[in-house]
Amino acid sequence: MKILCICNQGNKRSVFTKALLNYDHDALAAGIDVNSAETIRLLCNWADKILLAEPATNIPMESLHKVDTRFSIGPDIYPVVITGKLRKIIQAKLIELGYIK
């Protein structure tokens, strides 16, 4: 499955989610605030599923049906390390939703 992981800047939450998904899926990470609307549209068209770190309003209307609304890890309050609290939160959510084992 092709999964697009989106957060605000594309530096932590989406990247860490992508890293955990890449074992079982083709995943990409992107920042909604730092990419053009055209880039986000192209990435959304590519994806089978879209996981948003937190609700975003900049997702193209034609791709909203791809957003898994069950996935949300909240605002960016984490340090830039893939260990610790953020990794545990993302991993637990991905297991709960059946994206990874």
Residue 101 falls within a domain, yes or no?
Answer: no
**pLDDT at site 80:** 66
* Nearest alpha carbon to residue 74 among 93, 96, 98: 93
Query: For 27-58, how does the pLDDT look when each residue is reduced to its tens digit (9 = 90+)?
Result: 999 999 999 999 999 999 999 999 999 998 88
Number of domains the chain is built from: 1
Distance of CA 101 to the CA centre of its chain: 17
Average pLDDT, the chain: 92
Which residue blocks in 5-84 are alpha helix, DSSP H? 13-21, 37-46
Q: Burial, 4: exposed, middle or buried (Cβ in 10 Å; 0-12, 13-18, 19+)?
A: buried
Residue 76 falls within a domain, yes or no?
Answer: yes
CB proximity list for 48: less than 8 A, separation 6 or greater: 1, 2, 3, 66
pTM to 2 decimal places: 0.85
Tokens (6 digits) for 72:
């949300």
Residue 7 falls within a domain, yes or no?
Answer: yes
CATH number, domain with residue 28: 3.40.50.2300
Residue 68 falls within a domain, yes or no?
Answer: yes
Domain membership of residue 27 as a residue range: 2-96
